[in-house]
Amino acid sequence: MPADNMQENMAANPSLLGMHEFSFHVNLANVTAAAMLSSFVPGYKFAIKSVRFAVETAVTTAAKAATLTPTISGATVTGGVLALTSANCTPKGVIVSGTSVTGANRDNEGSATDSVTITASSVTAFVEGQGELVVTLLNREV
C-alpha cells in the first residue's frame, strides 16, 4: 500500500494507529511445556491486543494439544490464551484465535523495558504441524 493510502487508512480508522503485529515461526513438534518465546522486548510502552496462530502445515495426527499463554515480564495477561489442538490446526491456512484480551488496560500493558513471553503448557506432543504465532501489540506511545 502506498504511504499516502496507508496514512489515509490510519486517519479513517484511528483504532489501527499504533497497532503492530509480530510473527514468530513455530514448529509444533518442537513445542514443550516451557517458554517458547521469551525476552521479546518491543522497546515502547505497549498493550497486548491479541494472540493467534496461522497454520502453514496442518496437523494430521489426532489427540495432540498445547496451551499457549502470554505474560508481560512475568505478569499474567488477562486473556490471550491460545489452545492449539489437532482438530483446530487443520487444514492449512486456518487461523486459530486466542481468547479475548480483557480486563483493565494496566493488566495487559508493558513499559518500554518489559518483555513478552509465550509459555506452552498442557502439552501432548505434536508429531507435525507448523505455523506463525502472531502477537498484536498496541503502541501506547503514539
**pLDDT for the residue 12:** 54
**pLDDT for the residue 6:** 42
**pLDDT for the residue 142:** 78
User: Which residues, other chains included, contact 14 with Cβ-Cβ below 8 Å and sequence gap of 6+?
Assistant: none
Bridge partner list, 135? 22, 51
**pLDDT for the residue 91:** 97
**pLDDT for the residue 141:** 86
Domains and CATH numbers, the chain: 19-139 (2.60.120)
Ranges under pLDDT 50 in the chain: 1-7, 9-10, 105
**pLDDT for the residue 86:** 97
